[in-house]
Structure formats: C-alpha cells, structure tokens
Amino acid sequence: MDSVILKAGKDKAVRNRHHWIFSGAVARFPDFEDGDILAVRSSGGEHLGYAYFNRRGSIVGRVVGFGAPAPRDAVRKSLAGALALREGLFDPAVTNARRLVNAEGDGLPGLVADLYDDVLVVQIATLGMEKLKPLLLELLVEALRPRTVYERSDLPARREEGLGDLESVLYGDPAGAEQVDVLENGLPFRVRPSRSQKTGFYLDQREMRALVRRMAGGSKVLNAFSYTGAFTVCALKGGAVRADSVDSSEAALGLAEENLELNGLPASSGSFVAADVFSFLRSPNLDYDFIILDPPAFAKRRTDVVQACRGYKDINRLAIQKVRPGGLVLTFSCSHFIDPRLFRQVVFQASLEAGRRVRILQEHRQAFDHPVSVYHPETAYLKGLLLHVE
Ligand code: SAH
C-alpha cells in the first residue's frame, strides 16, 4: 500500500494515538483518491498506522488503525470493541436507546451510530468513512440484526469534505426511520429519526435526566431549549408541580406533548411555548424553582467562541437572576470549543452580574456511552453545572 510520509518531528500526535493528521504535518503524499486509506510513515520510514485521507480540509488524515494491523481489520476490531463496551452497561428492559459508536471516542473517526430499540441510525461525517460504509453496514447488520438502518448524514462538516447531505434507509423496514418508541431509565419516549435533530434523541443527557427526576420534586420547572421534552417528562415523573417547555421548534414541541401523553402525564402539567429562550427569559414574573438550560452549540467553530460566551452568559445571568431563592439552575454547554474551565468562568461572570450567591453542587459530562479517548480529548463536548442559587 502507498504511504504518506510525515515531516520530521510531526509524528508525535500519531504516535500518541491522536487520530488527526493536519496538512502541515505531511511531507509527501503518494498518488491517491480522496477518501482512500493509506499507510502512514515517519520521516525515517517507520510504519505508524493507517489513515484515510482527504486533501480538502486542514485535517487531511484521520487514523483508523494505529500500528501494524491491516486497516479493515482495525475497523472491524474498533467496531466490535464499541459494541462490546455497551453490552452490560444497560438493561434493555429499562434503557434500550444508546450510542453504539462515538467517533474517535471509539476509534472510528467520522462515524456516529445510535440504536433506538431495533432501529439503528448512522451519521457519517467524512469521505473516508463514507467509503467504509459498505463494510460497516455489513458488520452492523450482522452484529445487531436491526429492523431498520437509517442514515442521517446532514452535518455541516460534510461540506468541508466535499460531501452533500445524505438521508436514506440503508436497510430493512422504512417505517423504523419514521418513528420508534424507546425506553430511557424506564420511561418511554418517541423518536422520529427522519424528522428530527441529530439522530433523533439527545442520548448524551440520559444521566442528567435521571438527576432531574431525583431533584425536581415539588418544584415549578422551566425546561428551556426543551427539544422533545425529555427533561420535562423526567421533572414531572419526579414530582414537579409544573414543568414548562420552551423551544423554537414547533415540531419538537409537538413531539414533547406526545411524550407527556406517552408517559401518562396530563397536558395541563405544563405549557409548551414556541419562543426564543433569550426573550422568554426576559419576560416579567417568571417564578421557577428549577431552570434547565440546554442550548444548542453556540460555538460551532473556534472563531465563534467570544460571541458564544456572550450568549451563554446572557441566558445564565437571566436564569440565575430569575430563579426563586433557594432554587436550582442546571446549565449546559455542548460546544466542544468551550472547555469546562471557560464554561465555569462564564457562569462565574453571569452569577456576579446577577448579584446572587451561587454554588456549584455538581459537575457533569456526556453520558457514558459517549466515551472520550484520553489520547484524543476533542471528543469531549458536553459539560454541565448544577447550581444552587440563594
Ligand atoms: N434538552 C434537550 C435537547 C436540547 S437541543 C433534550 O434533552 O432532548 C437544543 C434545542 O434548542 C433544540 O430543540 C432547538 O430547536 C432549540 N433552540 C435552538 N435555539 C433556540 C432559541 N434561541 N430559543 C429556543 N430554542 C432554541
């Protein structure tokens, strides 16, 4: 197989099991087509592993196998390892929705696979992974025997790879892509993979939903950026006296109402408000004991960070200002460019400006089926703080 030769002194990242190869690290490319897998060698000719390459982006290569094993064997092994890791983590009678593959966190850059009961939804971000799709599909179908495999590849990152959006049923029953009911911590939720955000459901918040269920008893709860109301359902199941859901998406709120019904909760348990959270939080007379802020990633690029911090500070200041004395604010950022320290600084500044005494009760990260490789920390993105406000 043809090899990519790295520049002298630019092989440390790959040696340290980081998956990305930047264009500046490459001394010489062989003849190849974008998306092909190539061997990677140091300037001294030492074999380091295999990566797929695409000349378009600044990240030109993504390693699929470190060391000697043949690349397709390495992919097979990573996939088998990802599936094995999840076995035993969940009792399917209680939780049957989980992330099976978390990209670099599972050694498979460019691939996310989420299982919703018997419906598998895959999301492919790169041309190299796109070329591995037939192999992955074969392996996934063999291992999981799903009813449906649906591809939901509509990520902005694909543009940088020269790829358009792709959404289609790859295998099995097309109805599975339309709608599937899942269980999370024993509670039913409806997911519509083909008509939703991401792959359909925010699996990364599973443990936080359990936390909300434990902490919401007797509270009046605001679920801001509610999406399909998963936190709302958990708050009400945990004994909240009322839980209101605010989201800019009418479709998401419609599904939130269905999710209340699915859980045997009366529609009068809260209101569903289609609004911009930034203006909703400015409305007078808000009287919540518990405010959940789970916004979309405000910083999608590194250059967005300053602007994004302003957004995070705004909503946190307003929530901290308005929550009732002795109340709770559960606040998140899912921008990976905002690291946990920066997020704490933003919350510190927001608290200062709100003029309330604020204490952190707990810190959180993405659910444990979203592993982060210690060698490739970029897969960490979600962080959360549970705040007590006097
Ligand atoms: N907490 C949710 C996931 C939230 S995802 C869950 O557990 O399922 C972020 C949500 O914010 C999306 O549903 C999106 O429609 C909504 N959103 C984005 N910008 C918004 C804004 N400015 N005001 C209100 N909702 C917004």
The first and second tokens of residue 26, run together, are 């490459």
Tell how far the Cα of 295 is from the centroid of ligand 1, in angstroms: 5
User: Model-level pTM?
Assistant: 0.96
Q: Is the pLDDT of residue 44 over 70?
A: yes
Which pLDDT score is estimated for 300? 84
Rounded Cα gap, residues 279 and 301, in angstroms: 25
Among 349, 300, 358, residue whose Cα is nearest residue 329: 358
- Please give the structure tokens belonging to residue 254: 């419609």
CB 109 within 8 A of CB 375: no
pLDDT tops 70 at residue 359: yes
% of the chain residues with pLDDT over 90: 95
Cβ(276) to ligand 1 under 6 A?
A: yes
As a whole number of angstroms, the distance between CA 157 and CA 308 comes to: 19
DSSP state of 334: -
Report the mean per-residue pLDDT for the chain: 96
**3-class DSSP state of 324:** coil
Q: Angle 57-62-67 (CA atoms, 0-180°, nearest 5)?
A: 150
Beta-strand pair 119-124/148-153: parallel
| Ligand 1 centroid, distance to 387 Cα (angstroms) | 20
Q: Which residues are catalytic?
A: 334
Q: Which atom of ligand 1 is least distant from the CA of 208?
A: 7
Question: Residue 1: is its pLDDT beyond 90?
Answer: no
272 pocket-lining for ligand 1 (C-beta < 6 Å): no
pLDDT at 2: 86
103, 79 in Cβ contact below 8 A? no
Q: Does the pLDDT of residue 249 top 70, yes or no?
A: yes
Distance (angstroms) between ligand 1 centre and the Cα of 163 equals 26
> What confidence tens digit (pLDDT) does each residue in 163-181 have?
999 999 999 999 999 999 9
pLDDT for 57: 86
Protein residue with least CA distance to atom 11, ligand 1: 225
pLDDT average, residue stretch 68-86: 97
Residue 256 in this model has a pLDDT that exceeds 70: yes
Q: How far is the CA of 130 from the centre of ligand 1 (A)?
A: 29
Query: Is residue 204 within 6 Å of ligand 1 at its C-beta?
Result: no
**How far is 244 from 224, CA to CA, in rounded Å?**
8
Token output for 199: 């792959």
Our mutation pick for probing the ligand 1 site, out of 203, 248, 335, counting the most ligand atoms within 8 A of Cβ, is 248
Over residues 130-152, the mean pLDDT reads 98
Residue 209 CA: nearest ligand 1 atom is 7
Q: Is the CB of 330 under 6 A from ligand 1?
A: no
Q: How far is the CA of 343 from the centre of ligand 1 (A)?
A: 18
Amino acid symbol at 177: A
Question: Cα(first)–Cα(last) distance of the chain, in Å?
Answer: 64
Give helix 305-322 / helix 340-354 axis angle, nearest 10°.
Answer: 40
Q: pLDDT-derived band of residue 197, with 50, 70 and 90 as boundaries?
A: confident
- pLDDT tens-place string over residues 316-350: 999 999 999 999 999 999 998 999 999 999 999 99
pLDDT given for residue 302 in this prediction: 87
What is the residue with the minimal CA distance to atom 23 of ligand 1?
Answer: 276
Spell out the residues 6+ positions from residue 142 whose beta carbon is closer than 8 angstroms to its own. none
Q: Is the CB of 235 under 6 A from ligand 1?
A: no
Rounded-to-integer distance, Cα 138 and Cα 184, Å: 28
The encoded tokens of residue 376 equal: 């490739």
CA of 185 to the centre of ligand 1 (A): 22
Q: Which of 116, 196, 211, 225 to mutate to test the pocket of ligand 1 (most atoms within 8 A of CB)?
A: 225
CB environment 207-221: b (16+ within 10 A), e (fewer): ebbbbbbebbeebbb
- H-helix or E-strand spanning residue 41: strand 37-41
Q: Which pair of structure tokens corresponds to residue 79? A: 């996939």
Locate 214 and state its tokens: 């434990």
Q: Show the tokens assigned to 193.
A: 């993979």
Atom number, ligand 1, closest to the C-alpha of residue 202: 8
Which residue, judged by its Cα, is nearest atom 12 of ligand 1? 227
Q: Is the pLDDT of residue 212 over 70?
A: yes
Give the helix/strand (H/E) hosting 300. none
Average pLDDT over residues 27-31: 97
How many helices (H) and strands (E) would you count in the chain?
A: 11, 20
The answer to whether 4 and 53 are in contact (CB under 8 A) is yes
Show the tokens assigned to 76. 């097979």
Give the pLDDT confidence score for residue 16 in this predicted structure: 97
Determine the atom of ligand 1 nearest the C-alpha atom of 292. Answer: 1
Residue with tokens 């004991």: 289
